[in-house]
Amino acid sequence: MTAVIQTKNLSKWYGNVLGLSDVSLEVEQGVTGLLGPNGAGKSTFLKLITGQIKPSIGHVAIQGQDVWNNYPLFGRIGFCPEQDAFYDEMTGWEFMTSLLSLYSFSRADVQSRAEKALDFVELAKDKDRLIRGYSRGMRQRLKLAQAVAHDPEIIILDEPLNGLDPLSKRKVIRLIKDYKEAGKTVIVSSHVLPEIEALTRTIILLHQGKILARGDIHYIRDLIDKHPHMISVKCSDPRRLASSLVGEPSVLNIQFGPAPDTVVFETQDRDKFFGLIPRLIVDHRIDVEEITSPDDNLQAVFDYLVGK
């Protein structure tokens, strides 16, 4: 498959702050997840590939063409920025139609595309309200609508699921999958692993401006799975739950506390552990208040991968 986006030795620094360091990669058709904790360089990478900033060193090309100042290329790209910024004195409808009119669509086409995009993000009934009156979730959906309204071939979404409620998240995930099926190229950035997992198997892990890992998410998952997981269960009878799991080989360690109704398990096989738990809870009639994974966040994974 030919690469849609290519970067070679791509580096960017802001004064003496390193944003991105020596990133060479090729992004192919389909959905690619860009994962990394805050400050990893995800937004810098996306700004570079959308031609908003110039590389300090290196080269970036989309479909074989240079990106910087190559404005005809932008007709094929849809970009949803991270920042919560709008022309607040416009209504949602005015915002959409104004931006669409910057493409060479007819007036009728502009209107039908705006309508379709707003309808999709469920803002149709609020389209005549001023954007400054929109909630965070509505603003996020509007940003997404402007990125896809012109039906681009390449869609670049910087933290698109931020601030969305679960239903909207599902809808956006569905949309991205539809784009994949339609043969488009989508890059989605996030610092939340499960969000990316729901979207794609191809990921790029960024950390401190460098590519830490790249490829199939299962590879990353395996790496993660080698790292013991902490799972905390807050329930009515933690000792009983612990005794029922003591014989389980995947459980490496059991600790009580810090609260009297909490037990923390350390496991090497998270999926198996989560498969067992529901049955045990039902069998022993234990009231469970909360199950959390204190280290189930990307930072913990990164810490593990970089050997901290």
The residues that touch another protein, with contacts defined as CB under 8 A, are: 14, 50-54, 69, 71-75, 77, 79, 81, 83, 85-87, 89-90, 94, 98-99, 101-104, 130, 132-133, 146, 258, 294
CA 178 to chain centre: 16
User: Which amino acid is located at 262 in the chain?
Assistant: T
Nearest distance from C-beta of residue 30 to another protein, angstroms = 22
Output 86 or 274, the one with its CB closest to another protein.
86
Which CB atom, from 89 or from 216, has the smaller least distance to another protein?
89
Provide the minimum distance between the beta carbon of 50 and another protein in the complex, in angstroms, as a whole number.
6
Q: Which residue has the tokens 């030919």?
A: 2
Question: How many other C-beta atoms lie within 10 A of the C-beta of residue 267?
Answer: 24
Minimum Å gap between C-beta 82 and another protein is 9
- Provide, rounded to whole angstroms, the least separation between the CB of residue 127 and another protein: 16
Q: Is the CB of 30 or the CB of 39 nearer to another protein?
A: 39
- CA nearest to 20, candidates 36, 5, 4, 3: 36
89 vs 165 by CB, closer to another protein: 89
Cα–Cα nearest to 20, from 61, 52, 56, 60: 56
> Residue 152 or 238: which CB sits closer to another protein?
152
Kindly provide the b/e burial profile for residues 158-196, where b requires at least 16 CB atoms within 10 angstroms of the residue's own CB. bbbbbbbeeebbebbbebbeebbeeebbbbbbbbebebb
* Shortest Å, Cβ 275 to another protein: 26
